[in-house]
Amino acid sequence: MTRIHASTVFLLFAFAAWPAAAQTCTLTDTSMNFGTYTGVLLNGTSTGKVTCAGSWNIPLDAGTGAGATETVRKMTGPGGDELSYEVSQDAAPTINSGNTTGTEVTGTGDANITFYGQILAGQYVVPGTYTDSLSTQTTNFSVTVTVAKDCGVTATNLAFGNYTGALVDSTSTISVTCTSTTTYNVGLNAGLAIGATVTNRSMTGPGSALLHYSLFSNSGYTTNWGNTVGTNTVAGTGNGVVQSLTVYGQVPAGQHSTPGSYTDTITVSVTY
C-alpha cells in the first residue's frame, strides 16, 4: 500500500507517492469551516477528490489543541479557550477519522472523499474565532469556527402549596448558562393574568378569580423582579457553566379568594 503525503497548506492538498511506487497521487480538498456556533450542535464538512492509480490512505492526527485526542479534537480561541469537536469518516457519525489502524481514510484509485466534522451542543466558551490545524504527517489543513455570544436558560416551578389567608413564601431556581465573558440580564414578565404588571402579578383560579402574588430578586422580599433592563432585572456575566439565580415568591396575607387551584405562567428572558 502506498501512503500518501500532502504537500500543500490549508485549502489545496497534493499527495506524493513513495518513489518506489512509480505513481503520482494528488488530493484537492476544501478547509473545514463550521461557520457560526451558537451553543447548538453544528456540523461541517471538508470535501475533496483523490486522483491516484493505486492504493492510498489519509491519516489525520489529533491536531494542535492542548489535550486533544483523535476522538476529541480542540480548536483554540481567545485567551487560549478551547472548543471541542470531532472528525469522522461518515455523516452518522460512527467512524472516527484518525491516524491509527482502522481510523485512516483509505481507498484505491480515483475517489471523492468527505471528512465530517461535528461540534457538540452546550459549549459556552469565550466568543470569537477558533482554529485548529490537523496534520497528515508533514502537512496540515485548517479547521475554523466563529463562536457567537449565546445564553441558555431553564427554570424550576414555583409552588406555594396551600394558601389559607396567611402570608406564604416560596422559591424557584433559574439556571443561566452563557458564553464566558458575556454580560447578561435576566427578566421576568408580568404573567398571564388580566391586568397583571411586574409589580402586581396574579394567579388565576376558578371562574377567573385572582390570587395576587409578587416576585423578588432578594431573600428579604424587597426588590421587585421585572423585565426592564437596568431597572429591575438581574445582571450577570457568563463563565461557561451554569449560574443559578433564586426567584423569591410571596403571596400576601389577607386574600379571601374562591377556593381551588390557582396558576400563572412567567416568561424568563435573558438579554445579552
Domain boundary among 147, 180, 206: 147
Does 4 score more than 60 pLDDT? no
Judgement on whether residues 55 and 128 belong to the same structural domain of the protein: yes
Domain boundary among 147, 166, 182: 147
Domain boundary among 106, 123, 147: 147
Q: What is the CATH number of the domain that holds 249?
A: 2.60.40.1090
Beta-bridge partner residues of 62: none
Residue pointed to by grid coordinates 469556527? 145
Judgement on whether residues 9 and 68 belong to the same structural domain of the protein: yes
Judgement on whether residues 118 and 184 belong to the same structural domain of the protein: no
Does 112 score more than 50 pLDDT? yes
Beta-bridge partner residues of 16: 5, 24
Structural domain containing residue 25: 5-147
Burial of 229 (0-12, 13-18, 19+ CB in 10 A): middle
Which pLDDT band holds residue 208 (cuts at 50, 70, 90)?
A: very high
Q: Hey, what's the cell of 235?
A: 445582571
Query: Would you say the pTM of this structure is higher than 0.85?
Result: no
Q: Among 115, 126, 96, which residue's Cα sits nearest to residue 34?
A: 115
Average pLDDT, the chain: 90
Judgement on whether residues 239 and 126 belong to the same structural domain of the protein: no
